[in-house]
Amino acid sequence: MVLGDRTAARRVEAALREAGLAAHLVVVDEHRSTEEGRRRYFQDNPRRGWRRLLPVSMQTPPRPYDDYVAVVLAERYLRRRATG
């Protein structure tokens, strides 16, 4: 299980440990993962019309994009694991 190290991470980790679900818990660096997830969302879902003129950093996707952020965190874990 991969957990980002920022918002409420300590509380979530403690709750998982208390519930006996943290045997394979790995905490990874979450720095700027939301921005990277948003950028990836817009790569997969190109902006149309006037929205193409605004920088991605000034826009919010029209739906939750936590799935993209989860992929970013998983890739960080795998990259860290590969480099030892």
Average pLDDT of the chain to the nearest whole number: 93
Residue 68 is predicted with a pLDDT of 97
pLDDT < 70 positions in the chain: none
Residue 7 is predicted with a pLDDT of 85
Q: Which two tokens stand for residue 43?
A: 């790569």
Distance CA 13, CA 16 (A): 5
Q: In the chain, what is the greatest distance between 2 CA atoms, to the nearest angstrom? A: 50
2 backbone dihedrals φ, ψ, rounded to 5° = -105, 130
